Amino acid sequence: MVEGSAVLDEGERNRYSRQLILDGFGEEAQLKLKGAKVAVVGVGGLGSPAVTYLTLAGVGQILIIDPDPVEGTNLNRQWLHWEKDEAHPKVCSAREKLRQMNGHVKVEVQQEALDHKNVDWLLKGADIVLDCLDNWQGRMEINDQCVRTRTPLVHGAVDGMRGQVTTIVPGRTPCLRCLLERVPKKEGAMPILGAVAGMGGSVQAAEAIKVLTGLGDPLLSRMFLFDLGEMEFELIELDRKSGCPTCGSIQ
């Protein structure tokens, strides 16, 4: 947890006034956000809206992890990156904008490709992790580390006009390896409409806020599926897999 989070000053009370009056929220929930550290892995189509709304909501410390530079093909959906940012690191581009949005939030960055060698120290100390990646190998590395450390994880994925979000609490809900026996291979450029990624990342931010504050009912053992092409929305129930190699033995 972030130090110095015992009180809200008048500026913070004014800034967050509309969420402070939410039923079940109030200053207690805001202080929980102020005292939290959230790791966002990937600051692209999902990560841009997710980290933006976490910053605006007043999460005290945010860590952004992404190895890539901004490319022209990112600009149809990754709204934290502008034309002037092309060829610059995504994490630096994102940090620049986020610091201007909310000076109360500490934004840290790591320009690293997350893998089994560095996942432990990259995610160390996070109260919750957001999987905003576009590849399953990286997602599984995050999943396995979060299960090892019992850290809540919000998974999001989008493709074309469709997306999915679920929240994982190790020992209580299925993990990603319960749901997927084999890691799909990444084949070529993924088609995506920017608004679809925007919706997925926004839901991820809301889930993280709910877990951190106790507000509402997170997507535990449930997956939210949406198709903006057909305007279809579905909640499906998820079950833990008793033989799951990652979480099958934990309670």
> Can you give the pLDDT at residue 8?
95
pTM: 0.95
**CATH among 1.10.10.10, 3.40.50.300, 3.30.750.24, 3.40.50.720 for 10-237:** 3.40.50.720
Rounded distance between C-alpha atoms, residue 130 and residue 244, angstroms: 21
Q: Tell me if 220 sits within 8 A of 231, measured CB to CB.
A: no
3-state class (DSSP) for residue 74: helix
> Can you give the pLDDT at residue 63?
98
Helix 90-101 vs helix 47-57: crossing angle, to nearest 10: 30
> Can you give the pLDDT at residue 4?
46
Q: 67-103: per-residue pLDDT in tens? A: 999 999 999 999 999 999 999 999 999 999 999 999 9
> Can you give the pLDDT at residue 250?
87
Distances (CA, A) of 247 to 122, 124, 184: 21, 19, 20
Which residue has better confidence, 180 or 57?
57
Long-range contacts formed by 152-155: CB under 8 A, 24+ apart: 152/127, 152/128, 152/211, 153/128, 153/129, 154/128, 154/129, 154/130, 154/204, 154/207, 154/208, 154/211, 155/131
Q: Give residue limits of the domains in the chain.
A: 10-237
HSE on the CB side for 140, CA within 13 Å? 15
* 55 — pLDDT class (breaks 50, 70, 90): very high
Percent of the chain with pLDDT over 70: 96
Q: 158-198: per-residue pLDDT in tens? A: 999 999 999 999 999 999 999 987 776 766 778 999 999 99
Q: 105-153: per-residue pLDDT in tens? A: 999 999 999 999 999 999 999 999 999 999 999 999 999 999 999 999 9
> Can you give the pLDDT at residue 149?
97
Q: Tell me if 42 sits within 8 A of 66, measured CB to CB.
A: yes
SS (H, E, C) 76-126: HCCCCCCHHHCCCEHHHHHHHHHHHHCCCCEEEEECCCCCCCCHHHHCCCC
